[in-house]
Amino acid sequence: MKSKAIRIDRNGGPEELKLVEVDVGEPGPGEIRVRHHAVGLNFIDTYQRSGLYKLPMPLQLGMEAAGVVEAVGEGVSHLKQGDRVAYASQPPGAYCELRVMPARCVCRLPDAIDFETGAAMMLKGLTAQYLLKKTLPAEGLEPGDHILFHAAAGGVGLIACQWAKALGLQLIGTAGSDAKCQLALDHGAAHCINYSTGNFVEKVKEITGGKGVKVVYDSVGKDTWQGSLDCLRPLGLLAVFGNGSGPVPPIDLGLLAGKGSLYMTRPTLFTHLATRESTQAMANDLFEVVGSGAVKIPIDQRYKLEDVQQAHRDLEARKTTGCTILTL
């Protein structure tokens, strides 16, 4: 059985992404074969392509998709042939028409959620879930609390803006243009700061009456982490969950002491998806909030699978907003 797929043979720029034809066999124990209807694009894909995250070569990229189960391997009990499914899963390999993959992180997709939405929302929506529900400051979060969320007009950010509002939180977003700030505000951010024209630390202090926020969710990394620490109130938490501008350098722990006994963590989604039970519980939470209409999944860009090089260029150039999918 043949499938179109996107593969790289070495790390590098978007030009390394090649359209190839691969053989797809039968699922083994604990595996399924799934035919994709849509594939999600994420910033982590660019980290894997560039070599920031090292993986064996050749590498088929892609961490999330939605489609239909074609075959089920031995020992898989939560899925059957014909099920509509969506996933965010390791190992990579979603940039394709058809694949065999571990069944553990694959979840049945509710009938009310279409394939494009399913493909766009799993990795980003589950990331927003573990951040807002599980990556919490020592004093917890209560309705009315201010939080700071960088890249608020991105895929994770626009989901987080809506979810935070549903939880009663006052989300302060940052973005790189007035248009992106307006997008975050339209999706539920209480405030949004254009970091290209203003100092986000000063603006956060102004918004919070000098107190600062309990938690900063930072996917930008190198360019923002120091300012993020300065936005925190004592005992606050900085959660760096991405490296959009590069990784955070080694830090002196005394810095955290001097700024008010701060906490700092580098969480990953796949730690939270380590078991079948945790994956399903998180997905159920996401399906519920999307199904209720409290969170809408903004798909702002669509590219054909064979146009994936341009999709990566646009993503890295910060030309995208919301979610991006590859169509088949």
H/E segment holding residue 148: strand 146-149
Which position has the higher pLDDT, 164 or 221?
A: 164
State yes or no: pLDDT of 165 exceeds 90. Answer: yes
Contact 321, 180 (CB under 8 A): yes
- Whole-structure pTM value: 0.92
Q: How confident is the model at residue 318 (pLDDT cuts 50, 70, 90)?
A: confident
Q: How confident is the model at residue 33 (pLDDT cuts 50, 70, 90)?
A: very high
Can you tell me the mean pLDDT for 183-202? 96
- Return the minimum-mean-pLDDT range out of 199-203, 286-290, 309-313, 317-321: 317-321
Closest CA relative to residue 181, chosen from 209, 210, 161, 165: 161
State yes or no: pLDDT of 52 exceeds 90. Answer: no
Q: Tell how strand 84-88 and strand 106-108 pair up.
A: antiparallel
State yes or no: pLDDT of 321 exceeds 90. Answer: no
- Cα–Cα distance for residue pair 163/295, rounded to 1 Å: 6
Give phi and psi for 58, each to the nearest 5. -70, 155
Question: Which residues pair with residue 194 across a beta bridge?
Answer: 175
Q: How confident is the model at residue 246 (pLDDT cuts 50, 70, 90)?
A: confident
Can you tell me the mean pLDDT for 207-234? 96
Angle of CA points 225, 316, 63, to nearest 5°? 90
CATH 3.30.70.1350 at 136-266, yes or no: no
Query: Which CATH fold would you assign to the domain 2-124+270-327?
Result: Quinone Oxidoreductase; Chain A, domain 1 (3.90.180)
Each residue of 115-127: pLDDT tens digit?
A: 999 999 999 999 9
- Which residues belong to CATH 3.40.50.720 in the chain? 136-266
Can you tell me the mean pLDDT for 206-227? 96
Helices 43-50/308-316 angle, 10° precision: 100
Each residue of 63-91: pLDDT tens digit?
A: 999 999 999 999 999 999 999 999 998 89
- Which residues belong to CATH 3.90.180.10 in the chain? 2-124+270-327
State yes or no: pLDDT of 157 exceeds 90. Answer: yes
